[in-house]
Structure 1
Amino acid sequence: MTRLKLSDIADEKPVRLTIELPARLHRELLAYAAAVNGGDAAGAPTVERLIPPMLERFITSDRAFAKAKRGQAG
């Protein structure tokens, strides 16, 4: 089985945002949700539940952002 970058989706109190996604990206997110669920779309996490951990993972892995953030702290 393919190792996905996203595996655990935390359940925290959300902040509501409204965004528009291109249809192509939405289809890819649905496919990713099914992959997270072992290939089964039934019972897969919703796109709304996928996006926050994906963004968090992206931000924590961005070295340039981490460096800039450290520079602002001092």
Structure 2
Amino acid sequence: MTKLKLGPLADDRPVKLTVELPASVHRDLVVYGELLGEGSPIPPARLIAPMLERFMATDRVFAKARRDR
């Protein structure tokens, strides 16, 4: 099993957003979803929110700015 930064995805009600991604980012999300899904691929749209959440949670400057707000 590949050790990815993103763990199991929570089943949460989404808020719809429309975003444009470069084709290379979409291809990478497809591959990431295949690796994370282990036989049952996870669609790229389900990966974006947890990835952004993880990114913001590990951004020390953002965390400090958020606390100081």
TM-score, length of structure 1 as denominator length: 0.86
RMSD value over aligned CA atoms?
A: 1.0
Check if 1:70 corresponds to 2:52. Answer: no
Structure 2 residue ranges without an equivalent (≥5):
none
**Which consecutive aligned stretches of 4+ in structure 1 deviate over 2 angstroms post-superposition?**
none
Give % identity: 51
| Larger-Rg structure | 1
Structure 1 CA distance for aligned equivalents of residues 3 and 29 of structure 2? 16
The amino acid that maps onto 2:56 is I
Number of equivalences: 69
TM-score, length of structure 2 as denominator length: 0.92
* Counterpart in the other structure of 1:32: 32
Structure 1 residue ranges without an equivalent (≥5):
none
